[in-house]
Amino acid sequence: MRTAIAWEASPQHHKILVEDEPLQTMDRYRQDRSDKTEAGGILLGYRKGQHLHIVQVTVPQLTDRRRRFRFDRSTHHQQIALEQWHVSEKTMDYLGEWHAHPEINPSPSGVDINEWVKITNRLTKPMAFMILGLTGTIWLGLSVNNALIKCSPTTTEGT
């Protein structure tokens, strides 16, 4: 069972805390078999100054397009985020996106980077982007001022 992981984006020293529940939820969608398609969703949580606290993720929806090497998120994820924003009295925020890759050591594809650039061009706040590898390895990047910074874990993850 995974426990929370803290990450840091240097040199800006932004910190990202991902709680255990979202990590465990994402783990259910690892592409650890050849018949599993890419899965993904959005990251929800709180902004605390320049830091992000991820407490929830959306899971694949029936309206998503899922293939072995592609994931297209449907607008239903946005509806879920909006509902959470209202339920939390407008404190829970859209913090970024996550998806799975069929790689041991995941890294962003050109398609990933192009999609993230579109998001960061619309939003001025730091945004997190996570890719979950087939063994549970995580790549985490943070966009700050239109630059994508690869983050490093500052805590040991539990498995």
Identify whether 38 is a catalytic site residue: yes
Strand 147-150 with 14-18, pairing:
unpaired
CB-CB contact of 140 with 132 (8 Å): no
Candidates 138, 135, 131; CA nearest to 152 is 138
Catalytic residue among 8, 38, 83, 115: 38
57/54 Cα distance (integer angstroms): 8
- Which tokens sit at 5? 């992981």
E strands present in 10-157: 14-18, 40-48, 51-57, 65-67, 70-72, 93-100, 127-132, 138-144, 147-150, 152-153
Active-site residue list: 38
